[in-house]
Amino acid sequence: MSIKLVVFDIAGTTIQDEIGVMEAFRLTLKKHGYDVPINEVAAVMGYKKIEAIKILLENNEPDKSGITPERIDTIHTDFVNHMISFYRNSPAIEAFPHAEDTFAKLHEHGIKVGLNTGFTRAIADTIINRLQWREKGLIDYLIASDEVEDGRPHPYMIRRMMEEFRISDPSEVAKVGDTEVDVREGQNAGCKYVIGITTGSFTREELEPYHPTHIIDDIAEVIAIVTE
């Protein structure tokens, strides 16, 4: 059965800013008294960001009574504001080589292009507006983690896209992402292809234990996989 929809992660998969995101996360946590190593931050990339903050606080706060919903919300709000400013103003924000060409070629094959993210909708819109991917006709759907009941690794964002395009069979869907939770999201959704990419947080060796159907080093490799 042919692929009708490919769902791509954003940061680290289609745009080159994963280090900036991790550093923003680290600096926001440090502002609130948590000096978290960058490797710990990398491990939670891909998660819904408010969930990632909760995980990091649980790993770094000796007094668990201090991990309150209010504290998590405050840190998350600071992070969101930081990221919106970053995506609006940083000269480093750009698409990975071959990302836009890959979207266009998928469209030539009649395949829809979806984007999903652990960011909030406000951050996601800031990114996409800056890159003008809607205006260029490169993407068909965008969904963020705060628009569904639970973010990755739950399959709800992918399922929402499937509903939008009236796709009932997940074997007609592929998922592409750079983190553990991207891979598990695709698996939980039942996607035919779950493609890990090494351009973001996780190396090939770090992706392998999660058993994606493919691991690639260049987003352009998606075309051959989903059109075979």
| 98 and 205 housed in the same domain | yes
Name the percent of the chain lying above pLDDT 90.
71
Domain holding 143: CATH number? 3.40.50.1000
Q: What range does the domain containing 39 cover?
A: 18-89
Which residues, other chains included, contact 176 with Cβ-Cβ below 8 Å and sequence gap of 6+?
6, 7, 8, 9, 13, 182, 195, 197, 219, 222
DSSP state of 1: -
| 83 and 98 housed in the same domain | no
| 121 and 186 housed in the same domain | yes
Angle at CA 43, nearest 5°, toward 24 and 91?
30
| 105 and 208 housed in the same domain | yes
| 50 and 154 housed in the same domain | no
List of the chain residues with pLDDT < 50: none
Angle at CA 124, nearest 5°, toward 40 and 73?
55
pLDDT of residue 18: 61
| 217 and 202 housed in the same domain | yes
| 76 and 110 housed in the same domain | no
pTM, to two decimals: 0.85
| 154 and 106 housed in the same domain | yes
